[in-house]
A and B are shown apart, each in its own frame.
Chain A
């Protein structure tokens, strides 16, 4: 069973200001995500949620200054970005970038080939992509457009979930996948995530600012992120509490810590 273990993770980012230097954003994160589990990470803006997501995926902007991350005992932090993806870590991005000149279909196939270690058989692949796109209510013409070029916010998110469904990672990190979606799009995207979860083969780290998405995707664990670490953990009921009370007490607590 695949397990992602994050232990005492410290991450800083260059501010670009020589006087300030590097600023520490994650200040000792401990978290274990097992295959089949869904963890929601909630927290106010600036608490470090997205930094956690991008650090796990290996974005070069972030420097790991301490701690460990392992996937089934393998050192994730030693891996390059593409090695992490091939090892089974998937990050659905909040702001997916445009890649001009590369069509969605070419991109998906290149990616699936890299992740699976061999090119998927053309006939079954075409069917597989078509079926996945239909379930996400995506127009087939989408496949011939360039990656994220001119996509609406909702199209970008559906495209991220399409990749999640096709690439079948061990650990899926969803960085604010719900932000900017209307109710219909949120439901379609959530259904996609749930299909992947139902396979029981993925551990999900659902990063969100709002509790709204948790009506569609039921977490097993909820963690409140504040001031660069997990301030509190609990079950789904913790989300209800946050819905009622907001993040105030964590923000204030963080500020004086």
Chain B
């Protein structure tokens, strides 16, 4: 009886692994947020591996893998977001990549240049200047 349960678990895990392989290959490069989608799909593979480990009796390894897999996925997604995600992270967008038609998306360098330009204008404005009168008490 136990053999049948083990076999069923292994077949389920093989099925999930095949599904994740097909899912990874079916995403094209032009898909938006493709790296996050692939990280998500490989989560299915992680669970399939845990099921396979339970089926062959390696419960400790399955527990370790169950704890470590989300940390790996989060670390990779975080690194991609910080340094390579130009679709969603405006800090990484340079002047050449900004489309002029969209008024709500501007590059960080351009905004900083505009802010510094405005502050120079405000300094030169006479309305905000302060004059100091020197009073000679002796006269």
Real binding pair: no
Q: Which residues of B contact A (CB under 8 A)?
A: none
